[in-house]
Structure 1
Amino acid sequence: MESFGGNRATEHVRRRNTPKLPDNKLMALRRLEGLKKRLLRDPPLCQRYAEEMQLLLDKVYAELIPHNELHTRPHVSWYLPHHPVINPNKPEKVRIVFDCAAECGSVSLNSQVLQGPNLNNKLLGVLLQFRQGSVALMVDIEALFHLVKVAPEHRVALRFLWWPEGDLQWTSLAYWMTVYLFGGVWSPSCASYALKRTFLDHRDVCPDNVVDAQRNFYVDDLLISMQSADDGKRLAEQLRHVTSLGGFRLTKWASNSKEVLESIPESDRHKEVKEIDIERKPFPTERALGVRWDLEKDQMAVVIKHFEQGGSVTRRDLLCVICPVYDPLGFLAPFLFRAKVIFQEECRRKKGWDEAISDSNEVQW
């Protein structure tokens, strides 16, 4: 796909008198040596990490730097350290994270690149529009940042070190990323711009309601609703077509309408929906931008940590219940407000975190 984001980044660089970047290759080598020790201690992690890195190379998201480019533009070249991150909920999956915030001489790549305008739609607006129609659809863009190319002249700042074929006994070589990174402060703005341009550039091949669907994206998640299953099926087909014209692939489809889901290829459905019998089993509960969505009942829910009463209630107990609550639509605002008032009063008492709260507040709690 043409790098809309890359062109936008070029415009930012031209407007800014960027200071020279220090030579940080030594720092990247030290970080790589630390990574090597970790991978040698954990062979299964080493294998999965090497497989993920090879996947980046196979998809040309990264590539070996040509020899004649290794020593060009030294004052704007930068080496990114990288490390594995494992989601506790998906222990089998390893994500490679490039550390754009790594510093060398108090300078990091993120500190030298303009972030760009915030082009994301408002979270509250997306969630409210999601509840307008009776047939709701939720879908994800697969690897959004990796589908937007970086302009060739900027890849010099996205270098990294790795061992050929993942063999840690070899000498590391220099590679660079050809796509945007999850840790880059500029990536959300550039990727959102590329997505919006896709809809605008192809508005002549799709109805207005499909073009307007760009307002229902929040980064790489789309939440949208229609008035009937037929409208939902038609919209799903048109969305898949127009996004494919920009090089994007929609995946992890979920809907409260079994009729709509049946029109989506099984390979593109959300894992939890894919594995159920559409005709017989009830639908599962999914996350819609962090809010629980019961597909079967078509109800939104907020998860609250269960509070077990075991002796006196402490200020730490209050915080452990209040802080994890994620409620962007404000369903629990009347209750959370009262809970926060109690917590605020206890803070004024200046007691320890594990001391019992006052008897009156414990009754209120």
Structure 2
Amino acid sequence: MAEKGSVKDFVEKVHVSPEHKDLLLFLWWKNGDLDKEVIEYRMTVLLFGATSSPSVAIFTLMKTADDNEHEFGSDAAKFVKNDIYVDDGLKSVPTAAEAIQLINSSKAMCMNEGSKLHKFLSNSKEVLAAISPEKMVGSINSLNVSKDSLPIERTLGVVC
């Protein structure tokens, strides 16, 4: 099972505390007219593309795992904490049933904190059959998993 997603999806859920909003201040001119008065804006959520965005996203994932391990289990927490790198995750488990359980508990854990894991793929048709097509990686979400052969995919440089 592998999870692929976007740091942007997660970072947009991280709100900036009021005392730090001035650190994300930017200036804008109405309609791009440099002769107009400058308007000050402050970000209310962490922005995608900031140097800190990937590390904030990973910190947020770690906190999500710590805060929700008791409710969603240690396997989900370990996956979120140890098997996700930036915006890809990679995990092998012995059975399809374990993979399905891990997917469901990990998704629920992150959803509990207002974020979503998505773009899953697997080399098991049984696992893929348990995932709704909109949650699969784009290249396989239109496959008929009962008839079509699975394509070779890569995540974190590993062929899946």
1:235 & 1:277 partners in 2: Cα distance? 23
Question: What is the CA distance between 1:159 and its match in structure 2?
Answer: 2.3
- Paired with 1:277 and 1:162, the residues of 2 have a C-alpha distance of 49
* 5+ residue gaps, structure 1: 1-136, 296-365
**C-alpha deviation, 1:162, in angstroms:** 4.6
The answer to whether the 8 Å contact 1:158/1:177 transfers is: yes
Choose from 185, 200, 211 the match for 2:66: 200
Alignment partners' CA distance in 2, 1:186 and 1:147: 15
1:253 maps to a residue whose letter is: F
Match of 1:191 in 2: 57
Cα gap change, 1:277 to 1:163, in 2 (>3 Å)? farther
| Aligned residue number for residue 156 of structure 1 | 22
* Alignment match, 1:318: none
Partner residue in 1 for 2:88: 221
Q: Residues of 2 paired with 1:274 and 1:163: CA distance?
A: 43
Matches within 5 A, 1:216-365: 216-289=83-156, 291=157, 293=159, 295=160
Task: Give the alignment partner of residue 209 of structure 1, picking from 75, 79, 94.
Answer: 75
Q: Deviations over 1:160-212 (max 9, x none)?
A: 34566xx5579574322222234433333332222111111111112222221
**RMSD between aligned residues:** 2.3
AA partner of residue 265 (structure 1): S
Shift of 1:227: 0.5
Aligned to 1:147: 13
CA distance 1:282–1:161, change in 2 (3 Å): farther
Q: For residue 281 of structure 1, give the secondary structure of its aligned residue in structure 2.
A: coil
- Are the equivalent residues in 2 in contact too, given 1:141–1:248 (CA < 8 A)? no
> Structure 2 regions of 5+ residues with no counterpart?
none
Shift of 1:148: 1.5
Partner deviation per Cα, 1:29-59 (whole Å, 9 max, x = no partner): xxxxxxxxxxxxxxxxxxxxxxxxxxxxxxx
SS class of match (1:285): coil
Please give the alpha-carbon distance, in whole angstroms, between the structure 1 residues aligned to 2:33 and 2:141. Answer: 42
Closer, same or farther: CA 258–163 of 1 in aligned 2, 3 Å: farther
How is 1:58-207 mapped onto 2 (pairs within 5 angstroms)?
A: 137-142=1-6, 143-162=9-28, 173-207=39-73
CA distance in 2, matches of 1:177, 1:256: 41
CA contact (8 A) 1:161 1:174 kept: yes
**Alpha-carbon deviation of 1:216?**
0.6
Identity of aligned residues (%): 30
For residue 266 of structure 1, report the CA deviation from its aligned partner. Answer: 1.3
Pairs aligned (count): 155
Q: Give the counterpart letter for 1:180 in structure 2.
A: L
Q: Take 1:250 and 1:186, find their aligned partners in 2: how far apart are those partners?
A: 21
User: Displacement of 1:280 after TM fit?
Assistant: 2.1
- CA distances 1:44-86 after superposition (whole Å, capped 9, x unpaired): xxxxxxxxxxxxxxxxxxxxxxxxxxxxxxxxxxxxxxxxxxx
* 1:159 to 1:279, Cα distance in 2 relative to 1, 3 A: same
Q: Taking structure 2 as the reference length, what is the TM-score of the superposition?
A: 0.83
Superposition deviation, residue 243 in structure 1? 1.0
CA 1:163–1:223: 2 relative to 1, 3 Å: farther
Q: Distance in 2 between matches of 1:261 and 1:241?
A: 18
Higher RCO (CA 8 Å, separation ≥ 6 residues): 2
1:68-121: CA deviations, max 9, x gaps? xxxxxxxxxxxxxxxxxxxxxxxxxxxxxxxxxxxxxxxxxxxxxxxxxxxxxx
Alpha-carbon separation, structure 2, partners of 1:205 and 1:148: 21
